[in-house]
Amino acid sequence: MLGTIGTYLGLALCATLPAKAATLDYAFKFTGTFSGTGDIFVKSTKDSLGGYDITGITGSIQGPTSGAIAKLDTAPGTPNVTGLFTDPVTGKQWFYNDVLFASGVPFDNNGVLFNFGSQYVGNIYSVGTQLYLSVSQPSALFDPGAAIRLTVSQTPLPAALPMFLTALGALWFVRRRHNRTAVNTKVEQLAAA
């Protein structure tokens, strides 16, 4: 009985411990000429710029050009190094560093560069406190881009951890009880014989 209580207490304590994740997840949403939602994945430690290096981005964009965000564009040595990207289709160029700032303006003047739809390039960046989405098509929204209102908030990654640990504990107890019942049945059969 004491062992069972100790096990329950141990599981409860494990479920409340914070998880140290190697990456963090930030949900984003923006509106304007374009609208979009998705998730940005970043390293869990700040870089030399005081922001978080972006390692991935997912979501979708709706507007004059629309589509699912397919991938983050990075150059060798990035994130955290300014890259220059030239769109092979349109010849348009963007500087980017793929860094997210958790407080204040979420992106600097270089911003984050990604592909969306089947052939479009997008860059979310800031000029002062105003954020823009620069796109490869339509070319009228390349420079400076379309002004957007963007919100970014951290998503708690370890939310499923307590449920997972509880399920593991329950499975262990069911298995233990099953084994105990099987042993008792075997003892009864041997005693009857």
* Distance in angstroms (rounded) separating the CA atoms of residues 7 and 52: 38
What is the residue range of 33's domain? Answer: 23-155
Q: What is the pLDDT along the chain (193 residues), one digit of tens a residue?
A: 545 555 554 555 454 444 455 778 999 999 999 999 999 999 988 888 889 999 999 999 999 999 999 999 876 555 567 889 998 888 999 999 999 998 899 999 999 999 999 889 999 999 999 999 999 999 999 999 999 999 999 987 555 555 566 666 766 666 766 666 666 676 677 777 6
DSSP SS3 for 131: strand
The reported pLDDT for the residue numbered 17 is 47
The structural domain count of the chain equals: 2
Q: Is residue 4 part of a domain?
A: no
Instruction: Say if residue 125 is in the same domain as residue 30.
Output: yes
Assess whether 113 and 164 both reside in one domain. no
Q: Classify residue 138: in a domain, yes or no.
A: yes
Q: Are residues 88 and 165 in the same domain?
A: no
Q: Are residues 124 and 173 in the same domain?
A: no
In a domain, 166, yes or no: yes
Q: Are residues 96 and 191 in the same domain?
A: no
Asked if residue 15 belongs to a domain, the reply is: no
